[in-house]
Amino acid sequence: MNKSLRRFCVAPMMGYTTPHARRLYRILSKKAFLFTEMIPSNTLIHSIKKNYIIKNNNQNPIALQIGGSNYKNLIQCSKVAQSYNYDEINLNVGCPSKAAQKGNFGACLMKEAHIVRDCLKAMLDNFDKEVSMKCRIGINKENSYNFFKEFIDVTVSSGIKVIYVHARNALLND
């Protein structure tokens, strides 16, 4: 995929970047890089409404953003993304919501860089297009350059080449 297409991205927004909204965004811009809203891996795997949630309808370039920490589930999600013709699958390691924390995904995974690395590697091994990650610069009071650098150093050892950084801390309920 042409990397210049990422110059203008429409950020994933829970409850807003629905298939209908993405269709509108695509009408407004043929070149914007779109994301789905973050979909928990369990929802993607088990939902009977999966087709409605992730239908693509030629909205490319587009990334499927998922949340999860179980590499086996993320492998299944990668295969789903492949079958729906997504250009990219994105692991959300930035969402601070209570639901993400309860499900052990999103920003709380920044405490577990090795798990994130293993998940990304499993996704790379099962998706023949781009695998990326979205993260924050830190969590709670862990916002030093060293914390962020160590997290990135571990996760890029998975082989990913694209990281989207939401340049602020995630505030978690510890």
**23 exposure class (CB count in 10 Å sphere: 0-12, 13-18, 19+):** middle
For residues 10 and 139, give the distance between their C-alpha atoms in angstroms, rounded to a whole number.
24
User: Is residue 135 annotated as part of the catalytic site, yes or no?
Assistant: no
Which one from 77, 95, 108, 119 is the annotated catalytic residue? Answer: 95
Instruction: Supply 10's token pair.
Output: 């429409």
Cis, bond preceding 61 (omega within 30 deg of 0):
yes
Say which residue the tokens 């030093």 belong to.
Answer: 144
| Residues belonging to the active site | 95
